DNA sequence: CTGAGTCAAGCTCAA
DNA sequence: TTGAGCTTGACTCAG
């Protein structure tokens, strides 16, 4: 009888790069044919990755944000969606039984708390796209992972603007969750906004170790209500602070286990390590 | 085929 | 005021 395994997540692609949902193009080469070609490759790999995760006992997968490249860009040809529909259908069915939890993580340019209305508008377009992707794959417990963004010189005012944009776009609440970051908003501030919006807070223990605040697991857990909480872990790599390492430091992982207490086996843990599935396997071997 | 340079977007911080 | 760096991968083109 095998010991109980934690619920671990893989992001974007396999380490060897053979399977990927994150192929993209350059804006300069944006054309309908090209988008269809690249998105088709990404979507054809999706069922293979689901199978891969299932076999490796990986319970969560982060889709690449360029799974359909430039989908929220003004110049994007919306007819592409019609062409891709059958591929989404296949993808959806491939995960029907396996129930790998799906997530997506838009980039640092998504700033709902920005002072610039144009930035907010394009951020909403990108989040709408993320939502559509999860809908098309019927990701019932899907998560869009987002940071609060820059502080814009006044963190309280930025938090307030974020909340106001959220209340005007309630559809965001279906999948959105907020993650603490290593430079700007601490876990405690992030939780405060998540609670006001009534959405989950993703606790990143690595960011928390760099950008500290007072916080307990119990209060984070509450923000998820009936949903299964999701957390992130990565370790410091060589070079600059914040760089991800190839693997997860064993001691740090055990610290996360301690932090989560009795909930450890019930929480989804995204493993942000460059060696991806190899790093996951190393952790699985601990249990 | 390979390696170096570059890539939509915002924001922060150092110079 | 400007520009590198963020997180990191992956495209693109020169050679």
Q: Three-state SS across chain A?
A: CCCCCCEEEEECECCCCCCECCCCCCHHHCCHHHHHHHHHHHHHHHHHHHHHHHHCCCCEEEECCCCCCCCCCCCCCCCHHHHHHHHHHHHHHHCCCCCCEEEECCCCCCCCCCCCHHHHHHHHHHHHHHHHHHHHCCCCCCEEEEECCCCCCCHHHHHHHHHHHHHHCHHHHHCEEEECCCCCCCHHHHHHHHHHHCCEEEEEHHHHHHCCCCCCHHHHHHHCCCCCCEEEECCECCCCCCCECCCCCHHHHHHHHHHHHHHHHHCEEEECCCCCHHHHHHHHCCC
Residues with CB under 7 A from strand C: A 12-13, 17, 20, 22-26, 28-29, 38, 64, 107-108, 182-183, 234, 237, 239-244, 272, 274
Confidence of residue A28 (pLDDT cuts 50, 70, 90): confident
pLDDT tens per residue, range A100-122: 999 999 988 999 999 999 999 99
pLDDT tens per residue, range A231-255: 999 888 766 666 778 889 999 999 9
How large is the average pLDDT for residues A87-94? 96
Number of domains chain A is built from: 1
- Is position A2 within any domain? no
Structural domain span for residue A233: 7-284
**pLDDT number for residue A242:** 67
- Is position A1 within any domain? no
User: CB neighbours (10 Å) of residue A152?
Assistant: 15
Contact between the CB of A109 and strand B at under 7 Å? yes
- Is position A72 within any domain? yes
How large is the average pLDDT for residues A172-199? 95
**pLDDT number for residue A1:** 44
> Is residue A88 over pLDDT 90?
yes
What the block records as the tokens of A19 is 């399977």
- Smallest Cα–Cα separation from A133: which of A13, A52, A42? A42
**pLDDT number for residue A17:** 77
- Is position A59 within any domain? yes
- Is position A140 within any domain? yes
- The mean predicted confidence, pLDDT, of chain A is 92
Find the Å distance, CA of residue A161 to C1' of nucleotide B14.
Answer: 28
**pLDDT number for residue A275:** 86
**pLDDT number for residue A3:** 67
**CATH number of the domain residue A117 falls in:** 3.20.20.150
Contact between the CB of A114 and strand B at under 7 Å? yes
Global pTM? 0.95
- Is position A242 within any domain? yes
């Amino acid at each position: 009888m095998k010991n109980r395994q934690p619920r671990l997540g893989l992001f974007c692609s396999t380490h060897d790069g053979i399977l990927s949902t994150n192929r993209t193009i350059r804006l300069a080469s944006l054309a309908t044919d090209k988008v269809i070609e690249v998105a088709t490759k990404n979507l054809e790999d999706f069922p293979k990755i689901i199978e891969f995760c299932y076999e490796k006992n990986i319970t969560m997968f982060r889709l690449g944000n360029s799974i359909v490249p430039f989908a929220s860009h003004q110049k994007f040809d919306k007819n592409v969606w019609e062409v891709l529909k059958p591929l989404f259908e296949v993808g959806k069915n491939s995960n029907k039984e396996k129930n790998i939890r799906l997530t997506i993580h838009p980039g640092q340019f998504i700033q709902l708390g920005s002072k610039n209305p144009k930035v907010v508008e394009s951020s909403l377009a990108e989040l709408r796209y993320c939502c559509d992707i999860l809908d098309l794959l019927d990701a019932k417990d899907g998560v869009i992972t987002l940071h609060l963004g820059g502080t814009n010189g006044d963190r309280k005012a930025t938090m307030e603007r974020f909340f106001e944009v959220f209340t005007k776009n309630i559809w965001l609440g279906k999948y959105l969750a907020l993650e603490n970051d290593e430079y700007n908003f601490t876990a405690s501030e992030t939780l405060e906004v998540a609670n006001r919006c009534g959405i989950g807070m993703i606790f990143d223990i690595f960011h928390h170790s760099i950008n500290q605040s007072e916080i307990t697991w119990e209060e984070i857990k509450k923000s998820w209500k009936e949903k299964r909480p999701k957390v992130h872990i990565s370790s410091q790599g060589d070079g600059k602070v914040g760089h991800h390492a190839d693997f997860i430091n064993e001691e740090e992982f055990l610290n996360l286990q301690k932090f989560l207490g009795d909930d450890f086996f019930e929480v989804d843990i995204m493993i942000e390590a460059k060696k991806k599935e190899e790093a996951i396997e190393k952790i699985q071997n601990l249990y």
